[in-house]
Amino acid sequence: MIHVSDLKKTFTSYERGSSFGEALLSLFIRKKKIIEAVKGISFDIEEGELVGFLGPNGAGKSTTIKILTGILHPTSGTVDIMGFTPWKERKKYVQNIGAVFGQKSQLLWDIPPLDAFYLNQAIYRIPDSEFKKAVNDMVEMLDLKDLVKKPTRQLSLGERMKCEFIMAMLHKPRIVFLDEPTIGLDVIAKGKIRDFILEQNKRGTTFILTTHDLEDVEQLAKRVIVINHGEIVFDNSMDKLKQHLGEKRTVHITAKEKINLENRDGIVVRKQLSDYDIEVVIDLSVVKLNEFIQKINEESEIRDIAIEGPELEQIIMKLYSV
């Protein structure tokens, strides 16, 4: 569905300097700076996938998404999405995509979201029957009821974000680009939005999710592409991502007797809360989990144990620091 090959984008920027003198000088002489935002990335996305597109600030992910949505023209490379080259056939192409930007609203502040939906109906040429059905279905799914008839400014952030989703999906896009869709939302609103995304994904919509919220990624994405310094540093399934730091588990143990796990191969003590309470990270390629538990039980008699997989945050931090 999406084929991206050797995509590059360079920007020309001008150095301005920070001091008053440099700023004054920049009015007459400006030093050109070429920024390579995207350095020849390639990837494919199949229909119905829900892909997390991650990267630190300035990594090139927004530039890539803007090229994929037809907003920007690349410097070189090819993009084929549903048979379209986004920047060449923008109008036809964007009829098939939707986008939700957590920090850029498509709603109109002083009038109800429903009126903004009507404007979108005219923009996307949606027949009345389809429009009504789409609005009613999504209003019900997102539990909005009559809120769509209240002025946008009177809605909470969560309610507004739900309306942004309706706005982006009224025309039944085959691909939806999500940029920080849950930013600033409370746990309940986040949950509702995530359920909605998963439901729409089940119905066949392809999602590309750009976010810094790793909980979104963990709960939604089946595949993750990580971009850093304009290059792809990881592209694989969520499970593979979790194995990226090696097969590691975090084990929290509370025991009856004193626990001593210093200087043992494959075991790193992360927190020693007391003589009887410890948190360790075990490398499963060195130590077998069942043997480890058995040994500790024999030595200190386990009273409570909790085993957790690798933390996504650590993995992402490692990828970002490359």
Partner 1 sequence: MTGLKPKKEAGKWRFSVLGLYIQGVKTALASRMAYRGDFIMSMFIMMIVEFSGPVITMIIYGNGASFPGWDMNEVLLLQGIFLLSRGISFPFFMGIVWNTIGRVQEGTFDLLLIKPRSILLMSIVTAFDSEDLGKLIGGILVLRMALKRLPEQPLSHWISFFILFLFSIILMFGFALFMAGLGIVWIGNYRIYEIFMSVMDFGMYPKSIFSKSFQSILTYIIPVSLLASYPASALLGSVDKDVILALLASIVFLLLGLCFYFKIVRNYTSAGG
Q: Assess 289 for contact with partner 1 (CB under 8 A).
A: no
Q: Assess 71 for contact with partner 1 (CB under 8 A).
A: yes
If the CB atoms of residues 67 and 281 are measured against partner 1, the closer one turns out to be: 67
Q: Assess 61 for contact with partner 1 (CB under 8 A).
A: yes
CB of 307 to partner 1, least distance (A): 37
Tell me which of 159, 179, 216, 235 binds partner 1, using CB under 8 A.
179
Q: Assess 121 for contact with partner 1 (CB under 8 A).
A: yes
* 19 vs 280: CA distance, rounded Å: 50
If the CB atoms of residues 134 and 282 are measured against partner 1, the closer one turns out to be: 134
CB of 11 to partner 1, least distance (A): 6
Q: Assess 62 for contact with partner 1 (CB under 8 A).
A: yes
CB of 281 to partner 1, least distance (A): 34
Q: Assess 119 for contact with partner 1 (CB under 8 A).
A: yes
CB of 128 to partner 1, least distance (A): 8
Q: Assess 10 for contact with partner 1 (CB under 8 A).
A: no
Site size for partner 1 (CB under 8 A): 44
CB of 149 to partner 1, least distance (A): 6
Q: Assess 183 for contact with partner 1 (CB under 8 A).
A: no
Under 8 Å between Cβ of 300 and 255: yes
CB of 240 to partner 1, least distance (A): 26
Tell me which of 27, 122, 187, 188 binds partner 1, using CB under 8 A.
122
CB of 142 to partner 1, least distance (A): 16
Tell me which of 4, 38, 72, 197 binds partner 1, using CB under 8 A.
72
Q: Assess 14 for contact with partner 1 (CB under 8 A).
A: no
Q: Assess 151 for contact with partner 1 (CB under 8 A).
A: yes
264 Cβ contact partners less than 8 Å away, ≥ 6 residues apart: 287
Q: Assess 149 for contact with partner 1 (CB under 8 A).
A: yes
* 86 vs 95: CA distance, rounded Å: 11
CB of 108 to partner 1, least distance (A): 6
268 Cβ contact partners less than 8 Å away, ≥ 6 residues apart: 280, 281, 283
Q: What is the 3-state secondary structure (H, E, C) of the chain?
A: CEEEEEEEEEEEEEECCCCHHHHHHCCCCCEEEEEEEEEEEEEEECCCCEEEEECCCCCCHHHHHHHHCCCCCCCEEEEEECCECCCCCHHHHHCCEEEEECCECCCCCCCCHHHHHHHHHHHHCCCHHHHHHHHHHHHHHCCCHHHHHCCHHHCCHHHHHHHHHHHHHCCCCCEEEEECCCCCCCHHHHHHHHHHHHHHHHCCCEEEEECCCHHHHHHHCCEEEEEECCEEEEEEEHHHHHCCCCCEEEEEEEECCCCCCCCCCCEEEEEEEECCEEEEEEECCCCCHHHHHHHHHHHHCEEEEEEECCCHHHHHHHHHCC
Stretches 23-31, 109-117, 268-276, 289-297: which one binds partner 1 (CB under 8 A)?
109-117
Under 8 Å between Cβ of 148 and 140: no
| Interacting residue ranges for partner 1, rule: CB under 8 A | 11, 57-58, 61-63, 65-66, 69-73, 90-92, 94-95, 97, 99, 101, 104, 106, 108-112, 114-116, 118-119, 121-125, 128, 132, 135, 149, 151, 179
